[in-house]
Chains A and B, each alone.
Chain A
Amino acid sequence: MRRFGTMVVAVMLLAFSASSLPAQEKDADADYEISDPFESFNRTIFDFNIFLDDAIGKPLAEAYTNVLPEAARDSIRNFIRNLNSPVVLANDLLQGEGERANDTLTRFLVNSTLGLGGLFDVAFDMGYSYHSEDFGQTLAVYGVKEGPYLVLPILGPSSMRGATGKAIDTFLNPLTYIASANDGEIWLYGMRGTSAVDFRSRNIETLDQLKRNSLDFYSLIRSIYDQHRRNEILNGKSEK
């Protein structure tokens, strides 16, 4: 009986001291290297992308911000996000994320109707907030390794898995087929371009600051990409 009591205490002690923080955090020497065997090639593309961004991307994003009021820019983003919902939904389902799939579907239905074709994010106010999902993340959930880090021309930081996922997402997107059946590819490219400009316009200050504060801009961006992807794959579970 007494032994039982001791055991209970011991179990409780264990339960209370159960580790809740990742071990890596405690270990000050913890260090991991992001796989980047094509680093010198990647750096060349990275410099090229920065050159393009300085010449076209950033000025375009600034003009976009100056010309359009915030509400209009938000509506453009909402509209494009809504059109991309099928891709997010497909990946939610492929990952077995029922609740997130439900969020995406509800958002699509509510925003397409009450939100006037997706221009307004009414669903957000009803408690269904947006999340992105792509096939790269689905592959990660299925256990496919990240593979080497890649900097893609114009598209920017990615990885072998991320780039593969991006390509597959195009096939998962009904818009791809609708556009090609109606000779409307130009609209699809226009939409992608607008989405890119919108994204860039929302990160003008952040990117400037990162660049200014960086010691090695390339490895800073690589680290941010890597951490961001890890977090996305966990759907933010580690940080919420």
Chain B
Amino acid sequence: MLKSSFYKLAACTIPIAAFFVLLLASEIRAGEATDQVKMGIESILNILRDPALKGDEKISERRIKLRKAIGEQFDFNEMSRRSLARQWKSRSVEERIEFVDLFSGLMEKNYVGRIEAYTDEVIMYKKEEIDEDFASVKTVIVTKRKQEISINYRLHMVAGKWRVYDVVVKGISLINTYRQQFRSIIKKSSYDGLVKILRRKRDGG
């Protein structure tokens, strides 16, 4: 009698306890990707706000710090892999290393200036979705002209840390636009042709 009611109690308690544990666990996880994006953006903004790093004469010092801060948040290896899509598999290890180097160099060249152009637009953190080792953090930037620009960060978990592998601006995925261009170039010329173009773009004025 006692035994059976114990089982009954246990049968009710265990799922309830499990529910709270899960709830707690999901609450801990929820927000963790957002926090990381927030911290990452803050670390970059702190460099931009730092009076000791302002101005053209401080450009190389500032860029070194920016590169480091950006490198900690963004997974250029994954970005390269995704933008090459199926092509990635057919590349040798050396080719992949070379590609990641070229691609991250190009990213820096194209976007670091835009990051530096940031002044004090408001960044709002809207929502995050986590699915196993993947997450998306939705943000909105409000410009001075009261325009809202949605910027979503796509992240994946690498060695216990969320890292960005794609940025989606107003519904346009950065990686997707590169993937389409890479595919088109490879189709028309070759992988080597793509590498040549990448190098020219990265090193060109």
A19/B131 contact (C-beta < 8 A), A227-B171, A239-B150 known: yes
Q: Does A164 contact B (CB under 8 A)?
A: no
> What separation, in Å, do the CA atoms of A31 and B87 have in the docked complex?
10
Given contacts A20-B129, A239-B150, contact A219 B7 (CB under 8 A): no
Is the C-beta of B78 less than 8 angstroms from some C-beta in chain A?
yes
A216 and B185 in contact, given A5-B12, A21-B131, A239-B138 (Cβ under 8 angstroms):
yes
The interface bits of chain A over 26-50 (1 if a CB of B lies within 8 angstroms of the residue's CB, else 0) are 1011110110000000000000000
The 8 Å CB contact of A223, one of B7, B8, B132, B180, is B180
Q: Measured between C-beta atoms, what is the minimum distance from B38 to chain A in Å?
A: 19
Are A30 and B85 also in contact (CB < 8 A) when A1-B8, A216-B185, A227-B173 are? yes
Contacting pair B171 A219 (CB below 8 A): no
* Residues of chain A within 8 A of B150, CB atoms compared: 236, 239-240
A63 CB–B CB distance under 8 Å: no
Chain B: interface secondary structure? helix
| Cβ-neighbour of A5 out of B15, B26, B197 (below 8 A) | B15
For residue A26, which residues in chain B have a CB less than 8 angstroms away from its CB? 131, 134
CA distance A21 to B84 in the complex (A): 21
Please determine whether B85 and A29 come into contact, CB atoms closer than 8 angstroms. yes
For A13, what are the chain B residues with a Cβ–Cβ distance below 8 Å?
22
A228 to B150, CA, bound (A): 13
Within 8 A of A (CB), among B141-182: 150, 152, 154, 166, 168, 170-173, 176-182
Cβ of A28 to closest chain B Cβ, rounded Å: 5
What residue in chain B is nearest A232 (Cβ atoms)?
Answer: B171
Bound-complex Cα distance A214 to B89 (A): 24
Let me know if A231 and B11 touch, CB within 8 A: no
The residue in B11, B78, B126, B197 that gathers the most chain A C-beta atoms within 10 A of its C-beta is B11
Besides A216-B185, A220-B177, A220-B180, 13 other A-B contacts (C-beta < 8 A): A5-B10, A16-B22, A17-B131, A19-B131, A21-B136, A30-B85, A215-B178, A215-B182, A215-B201, A218-B184, A224-B172, A239-B150, A240-B126
Pairs A–B under 8 Å by Cβ, sample size 14: A2-B11, A12-B22, A16-B26, A30-B85, A215-B178, A215-B181, A215-B185, A215-B198, A219-B185, A220-B181, A227-B173, A228-B171, A239-B150, A239-B170
Residues of A within 8 A of B (CB): 1-2, 4-5, 8-9, 12-13, 16-17, 19-21, 25-26, 28-31, 33-34, 209, 213-216, 218-220, 222-224, 226-228, 230-231, 236, 238-240
